[in-house]
Structure 1
Amino acid sequence: MVRFAVLLPLLLAGCGGAVAGTAVPDASVAAPLTRAVFGDLRSIDPCGMTAPDTFAGIGPARTLARTSMDDCTFAVTVQGQNVEIRIGLLLPESELAEDVTDVRSLPGNVRLVQKPETDEACERYLVLSDGLAVSAVADPQNSSVSLDRAQVCGVAEAGLTGVHRAATAGTITHWDPAPNSFVRLSPCSLVPGAELARRTGIAEKDTTLLPAEHQCRWGPAGSEQANVQLDFFVGKVVNDTTGTIPAPEDVAGRPTIVLLSQSDSVKVCNAYTDNIPYQLGIEDEIERAAVRVLLPGSDERDPCAIARDTAALAWPRLPAAGGN
């Protein structure tokens, strides 16, 4: 909110009149920072969301291979040891844990918030004035390192401060995806909600599309109830020499790898198919679409059957694999 410095009426000696005042904006207070400063959220280059010197006060930083369309991974050297930070995932504030707490405020009515302290990775979020949140997750590259939590969290906070500076300066980087890139699609639009509801029992209204439109979820987050996701992400060409990855199968005309993992409490099946090389890749990464089905361990249904059915609904709406 803009404050105003108002010139109060001055009673002049020997004169009963007042001097008129003029409202003057206080230039020291930044205008609210909203998602508008990011432009088209779908085409943001997550590795271009931070200011160039973001980690200069901590140590050397380098960009690692892309694994996501939504965030960027940096390795930052802290006292000779690497801390990895994944930064850039956009979330609605409603997706954050209820017990996040404020770390500090930044200009533009922006908050830096944290998840409760644990022994796991350090998670911080930059929450803009309109509720759009930017995620940063930092953890040591080697679990045996001697860095303390404050040093690791310092990397996460520096990253988000860099995002804030870039957003304020209007230097967030975008890219122009190829016509047949998955980036040009919205995953929620590829699966008819009513049909998915009929097959899974998940209410059509229980659909969450993340702001950058690379991830869609039907059902609640977490592992206590069934949910289905359709994500666009980045990976490397599979070159399995051990035989641990099953051979691709045909699903709606696209080669699709189907993988099941399970424990006593949860069953998860992923079905994914490849597309074109990822234009922003640095190690020959490619675009991928993946259906992920999660069922509680007590659910007797086959998650891979649901994954194949969901992929069969979505794949025909994708651009031809590797095509134009």
Structure 2
Amino acid sequence: MRKFLPLLLILTACTVPPDPPPVPPSPEIQVLPQPAPTEARRPVDATHLTAAAVFGDLESVDLCQFLKPRDIADFGAAVPDDPAAFDVCAMTFIRDVDRVLVRVRVGPFQRDGRPALRSQALAGGVRKDVVGEDDEQCLAELVFPDGPVLQVAAGADRNSFGGSRGVTASKCPLVDTAIDAMARRFPLGLPSARTFGPGSWHRAHACDLLRPDLVARIPGLAGKQPEQSAAGHACVVRGDGVEARFRFAAGYPLLPTGNLAVTIAGRESVTDDLPRPSRDRTSWCQVSTAHIPHEIPDLPGTSEYAAVEVQVAADRRDTACAESRALAEGVWPGLPG
């Protein structure tokens, strides 16, 4: 055995160990895309529900975040409707029992409430006042501790499929159901601001343009004081049997079909061809001018627009449209670019 030892040592010394197996490359660290952070909710004190805390900026609030069609599904299958305002959410449905068209409206915000027929205290210091109820509609107001008053209304259309059948049923249970659903969302601090394009009018204040010298030209309005809505988008001047109104709005302005297309103060405008009758037997006429597109979910082709209206007593019916056009001649030059 000894004579083989040197050879064994030589073989051992010269043996080259095999290469280690290749180390697999380290997997790349993958950064998964993160979902966009949700908009922070506003802190809300459920014991003191101010309009500022519940809704945020009244000039840009989307009230349709607080009332959904499913909330009133027991009354009918509601679909979105033209809000005709920045601070309004509207929806309509055809009532199954009588085929009457019913419209539900949340908004606008007002500075002052009306005398209440009956009142109810809600959570957080909010008060519900029913201020109007008749065969065709129910109007309630939610009065918030910091002052703003939010209207909630439901009304039936006598000219819909069912004619006047069924319109005598009270709409207040529908309004109550809508308010109950909204009140459950008030403490949540919901992100509820709309998105506006460059040059939007949602920050403009209507009473800045409805000047006293303009409304004084309408008989019965000289010396009357303007009233501006809480969000600033609407302004009204009231006299005895006559009103002048101006508003910045989102929705569908008047269309030339069935109306008159005119140019007023250099702006393409549309005016009612004939005065429209009101429920209180007065007549009113509107002039509107479109601004920029404004997207409202499920309502294609909506835009921002401005509108003036003059409402007069029945014996002055024939003057309503001429006075509306004259008012637009004075208001349009002041519209923001």
* Whole-Å separation in 2 of the counterparts to 1:213 and 1:41: 9
Instruction: Name stretches of at least 5 consecutive residues in structure 1 with no aligned partner.
Output: 1-28
Contact 2:118 / 2:129 at 8 angstroms: preserved in 1?
Answer: yes
Is the contact between residue 228 and residue 293 of structure 1 (CA under 8 Å) also seen in structure 2? Answer: yes
Structure 2 alignment gaps of length 5 or more? 1-44
The counterpart of 1:261, out of the listed 275, 284, 287, is 275
**Aligned position for 1:136:** 152
Are residues 1:92 and 2:111 paired? Answer: yes
- Indicate which of 216, 239, 264 corresponds to 1:251: 264
**Which of the residues 180, 199, 202 maps onto 1:180?**
199
Contact 2:95 2:102 in 1 (8 A): yes
Q: 2: CA distance between counterparts of 1:117 and 1:285? A: 31
> Percent identity over the alignment?
26
Query: Structure 1 residue 271: deviation in Å?
Result: 1.7
Deviation at 1:83, TM superposition (A): 4.4
| Cα-Cα RMSD | 3.4
Supply the distance in 2 between the matched residues of 1:168 and 1:179 (Cα, whole angstroms).
32
* Contact 1:49–1:172, Cα closer than 8 Å, also in 2: no
Contact 1:137 1:156 in 2 (8 A): yes
Counterparts in 2 of 1:267 and 1:237: CA distance versus 1, 3 Å? closer
- Letter in structure 1 aligned against 2:241: Q
If you compute each CA radius of gyration, which structure gives the higher value, 1 or 2?
A: 2
CA contact (8 A) 1:235 1:286 kept: yes
Q: Note if contact 1:255-1:273 (Cα within 8 Å) is conserved in structure 2.
A: yes
**Which residue does 1:228 correspond to in 2?**
244
Q: TM-score, normalised by structure 1?
A: 0.73
Give the residue type in structure 2 aligned to 1:218.
V
Distance 1:218 1:188 in 2: 9
Structure 2 length as normaliser, TM-score?
A: 0.70
TM alignment of 1:207-226, pairs within 5 A: 207-220=226-239, 224-226=240-242
Is the deviation greater in 271-280 or in 254-263? 254-263
> Does residue 167 in structure 1 map to residue 186 in structure 2?
yes
Q: Which residue, 139, 149, 154 being the options, matches 2:169?
A: 149
- Separation in 1, partners of 2:224, 2:244: 13
User: Between Structure 1 and Structure 2, how many residues are aligned?
Assistant: 281
Partner of 1:278: 294
Distance change in 2, residues 1:139/1:219 (3 Å): closer
2:81 aligned residue (60, 64, 70): 64
- Secondary structure of 1:182's aligned partner: coil
Cα distance in structure 1, aligned partners of 2:65 and 2:211: 34
Cα distance in 2, alignment partners of residues 269 and 51 from structure 1: 32
